[in-house]
Amino acid sequence: MRRKYQLLLLTACLLSANIYSQVSDEHIMGSTGKIAHDYFRINPFNKDFSTFLIRLMNDPTLLQNSIIRKTDSTLFFMEGIYSTHRPFFFKPEKVKVILSEREVEIDNTGLTKSMFLYQVVAYATPGKEGTSDVKDEYDKILRRYKRSFDMNNPRELKNGDTLTGEVRDFYFENVSFPTVSLAWSSDENNGNLVAITIRFLVFDNRAFLPKAAYRL
């Protein structure tokens, strides 16, 4: 199980006490929704969440599909490899999709709410050419979307003194967590990859991005 969550750890963030509005801002949804439309085969923001989940779990283009359903002791997790979905400039060896449920605190009472991390990961060929492919893809996506967000925060990934990747979190001023993260990585464990992660909550059977009364 640890390996299944390894990629998500590249872009996971720590969330703490916040007060959320149950209303999504049109600008926030538009910017994040554009990335969902451009890179994810199934968009979670333009349909009921239950419909989105059914379509994702039953997508006929997904191979090696693995699903862990939510129970009293486990949270929802699924991953699969696309047979045809290739929304990137370079030609990846494979493209993986991951949907992972996390529990986060919503206020200082200790109450929690489910957050979903929706990720698409493209794997390039091994070696220097593959590393160049994922770095170039990362830069292209960054240039295309960075002006759509209020701010972004880059974090280098290193193995000792060697740079092995970068994670960039994209924020809106009135949302307490990064709605989107972009990452590239080149290491022995995961190979050469570029990943896009979208975070959202679910309210009234719809994926939404809450406006916060204050942010971290």
Write down the pLDDT at residue 69.
93
Q: What is the DSSP letter of 89?
A: S
Where does the pLDDT of residue 213 fall: very low under 50, low under 70, confident under 90, or very high at 90 and above? Answer: very low
Write down the pLDDT at residue 98.
98
**CA nearest to 181, candidates 201, 194, 192, 167:** 167
Write down the pLDDT at residue 175.
82
**CA nearest to 140, candidates 91, 179, 177, 89:** 89
Lowest mean pLDDT among 9-13, 35-39, 119-123: 9-13
Q: What mean pLDDT do residues 96-107 have?
A: 87
Task: Identify the three-state secondary structure at position 39.
Answer: helix
Q: How many CB atoms lie within 10 A of CB 127?
A: 12
Given a cut of 60, whether residue 79 has pLDDT beyond it is yes
- Residues β-bridged to residue 208: 201
Write down the pLDDT at residue 50.
96
Using the CB atoms, write b or e for 100-121: b if 16+ within 10 Å: bbbebebeeeeeebebbbbbbb
Lowest mean pLDDT among 1-10, 50-59, 73-82, 133-142: 1-10
Write down the pLDDT at residue 113.
83
Phi and psi at 213, nearest 5°, equal -65, -30
Residue in the block written with tokens 């990629």: 7
Task: Identify the three-state secondary structure at position 176.
Answer: coil
Given a cut of 50, whether residue 5 has pLDDT beyond it is no
**CA nearest to 205, candidates 100, 50, 53:** 50
- How high is the mean pLDDT of the chain? 85
Lowest mean pLDDT among 9-23, 72-86, 105-119, 146-160: 9-23
Task: Identify the three-state secondary structure at position 40.
Answer: coil
Q: What mean pLDDT do residues 182-210 have?
A: 92
Q: Which two tokens stand for residue 17?
A: 């006490």
Write down the pLDDT at residue 8.
53
Strands 180-187 and 162-171: antiparallel
Q: How many CB atoms lie within 10 A of CB 145?
A: 20
Q: Which two tokens stand for residue 11?
A: 């872009």
Where does the pLDDT of residue 209 fall: very low under 50, low under 70, confident under 90, or very high at 90 and above? Answer: confident
Given a cut of 90, whether residue 164 has pLDDT beyond it is yes
